[in-house]
Amino acid sequence: MNIVLLLCVIILAGFEAEALYYDYSATIECLAHPQKPLYNGGIIENPELNDGLKAWIQVSEADVPVIAMVKTTKEYKFSGAIDAKPNCWSMLKGGFTADTTEVVELYFQSNTTSVEIWIDNISLQPFTEKEWSSHQEQTIEKARKRKVVFQALDEQGNPLQNASVNVTMNKLGFPFGSSINKNILSNNAYHYWFASRFTVTTFEDEMKWYTNEYAPGKENYFEADAMLRYAKKHGIFVRGHNVIWDDSRYQPNWVSALSPSQLNVAVQRRVNSIVQRYKGQLIGWDVVNENLHFSFFESKLGQDFSARMYNQVHNIDPRTTLFLNDYNTIEESRDGVSSPSRYIQKIRQIQSSNRQLPLAIGLESHFPSSPPNLPYMRASLDILRSAGFPIWITELDVASQPNQAGYFEQVLREAHSHPGIRGIVMWTAWSPHGCYRMCLTDNNFKNLPTGDVVDKLLKEWGKTTISTMTDKYGFLETSLFHGEYEVEISHPVKKNLTFTHKIQVLPKDESKKTRQFIKLSV
Ligand X SMILES: *[C@@H]1O[C@H](CO)[C@@H](O)[C@H](O)[C@H]1NC(C)=O
Query: Which of these segments, 213-221, 369-377, 487-495, 501-509, binds ligand X (CB under 6 A)?
Result: 487-495
Q: Is 164 in the site for ligand X (CB under 6 A)?
A: yes
| Chain residues 317-376 in contact with ligand X, contact rule CB under 6 A | 336
Question: Is 395 one of the annotated active-site residues of the chain?
Answer: yes
Instruction: Report the nearest approach of ligand X to the CB of residue 500 (Å).
Output: 8
Nearer to ligand X, 60 or 272 (CB): 60
Pick the binder of ligand X from 136, 368, 488, 518 (CB under 6 A): 488
Check: CB of residue 97 under 8 Å from CB of residue 127: no
Name, in order, each residue with C-beta under 8 angstroms of 340's C-beta and a sequence gap of 6 or more.
Answer: 329, 330, 380, 383, 384
Nearer to ligand X, 56 or 250 (CB): 56
Instruction: Report the nearest approach of ligand X to the CB of residue 336 (Å).
Output: 3
Nearer to ligand X, 27 or 496 (CB): 496
How many Å apart are CA 390 and CA 360, to the nearest integer? 5
Closest residue by Cα to residue 137 from 404, 481, 483: 481
| Chain residues 70-89 in contact with ligand X, contact rule CB under 6 A | 89
Nearer to ligand X, 379 or 489 (CB): 489
**Secondary structure of residue 114 in the 3-state scheme:** coil
Nearer to ligand X, 8 or 19 (CB): 8
Distance, CA of 1 to chain centre: 29
How many Å apart are CA 22 and CA 25, to the nearest integer? 9
Among left, alpha and beta (phi > 0; psi -120 to 50; other), residue 503 is beta
Instruction: Report the nearest approach of ligand X to the CB of residue 440 (Å).
Output: 27
What angle in degrees, to the nearest 10, is found between the helix axes of 374-385 and 404-417?
Answer: 30
Q: Is 168 in the site for ligand X (CB under 6 A)?
A: no
DSSP states of 15-83 as a string? -----SS-------SPPSSPPPPGGGGTT-SSTT-TTTTTT---S-SS-EEEEEEEE-SS-EEEEEEEE
| Chain residues 255-314 in contact with ligand X, contact rule CB under 6 A | none
Binding mask 443-482 for ligand X (x = CB under 6 A): ------------------------x---------------
Q: Is 129 in the site for ligand X (CB under 6 A)?
A: no
Catalytic-labelled residue, pool 331, 395, 409, 414: 395
Instruction: Report the nearest approach of ligand X to the CB of residue 416 (Å).
Output: 27
Q: Site size for ligand X, by CB under 6 A?
A: 21
How many Å apart are CA 367 and CA 153, to the nearest integer? 51
Amino acid, single-letter form, for residue 151: Q
Nearer to ligand X, 10 or 106 (CB): 10
Check: CB of residue 91 under 8 Å from CB of residue 13: no
Pick the binder of ligand X from 87, 166, 264, 478 (CB under 6 A): 166
| DSSP-assigned letter for residue 310 | H
Binding mask 104-123 for ligand X (x = CB under 6 A): -------xx-------xx--
Give the number of C-alpha atoms closer than 13 A to the C-alpha of residue 312, restricted to the C-beta side. 20
Instruction: Report the nearest approach of ligand X to the CB of residue 162 (Å).
Output: 4
Pick the binder of ligand X from 13, 244, 453, 489 (CB under 6 A): 489
DSSP states of 311-328 as a string? HHHHHHSTTSEEEEEESS
How many Å apart are CA 465 and CA 129, to the nearest integer? 29
**Secondary structure of residue 454 in the 3-state scheme:** helix
Pick the binder of ligand X from 161, 264, 273, 516 (CB under 6 A): 161
Instruction: Report the nearest approach of ligand X to the CB of residue 59 (Å).
Output: 14
Q: Which residues are catalytic?
A: 395
* Chain residues that interact with ligand X, rule: CB under 6 A: 10, 65, 89, 111-112, 120-121, 161-162, 164, 166, 336, 467, 488-490, 492, 494, 496-498
